[in-house]
Amino acid sequence: MSLENKVDELVVGLVSVSDRASGGVYEDKGIPALQEWLQKTLTTPFRVETRLIPDDRDEIESTLIELVDDVRCHLVLTTGGTGPARRDVTPEATLAIGTKEMPGFGEQMRQVSLHFVPTAILSRQVAVIRETPDPASNHAALVLNLPGQPKSIKETLEGLKDADGKTVVGGIFAAVPYCIDLIGGPFSDTNPDVCVAWRPKKK
């Protein structure tokens, strides 16, 4: 890969938050599901950085900060830890490291999930922009909390379509490439058969 391609490469952090998976009690399914989805969806260069960590707020915060500030991710996707249980602290950690809240992402994820289960209102996914503390570095990333189950991850990212392929409820990833454009990240595009990346039409 040329240096030019490396500069334009989207760096995506994938964080699975689970006490049991990080402790080896069972195999993590969140990161593999996200990697598979990104492989079939993104048509522009990207690479991933993965982290499997327990439901610990301090560790979640430090991991998100490391991925944005040090690894220089442009997008960070977390999975797990967003319910009402006492150990579910991913949203709190995400809000703590963000500099701008992006509430529309969480609202839309719950809209998608409500088509399947009424308990979607118990989900607390949030999204933030994190801008690095040093203005000279001019770096920012979009951090999104996703559900924990692979099926729900796919549904919230892609949205829902009817039998004719018409979108019933839009998925959240359609807005992600343009959001990354706006915060100074590299251009990214998607496979329209999976998800159409929306951008304003050029005049």
Q: 56 is written with which tokens?
A: 């610990």
CB atoms within 10 A of CB 176: 27
Q: Is 59 exposed, middle or buried (0-12, 13-18, 19+ CB in 10 A)?
A: middle
pLDDT of residue 146: 97
Reported pTM? 0.93
CA distance 36 to 158: 13
C-alpha triplet 17, 19, 22: angle, nearest 5°: 75
What does the pLDDT profile of the chain (203 residues) look like in tens digits? 333 344 589 999 999 999 877 777 688 999 999 999 999 999 999 999 999 999 999 999 999 999 999 999 999 999 999 999 999 999 999 999 999 999 999 999 999 999 889 999 999 999 999 999 887 788 999 999 999 899 999 999 999 888 777 778 889 999 999 999 999 999 999 999 999 999 998 76
pLDDT of residue 25: 66
pLDDT of residue 5: 40
CA distance 183 to 138: 9
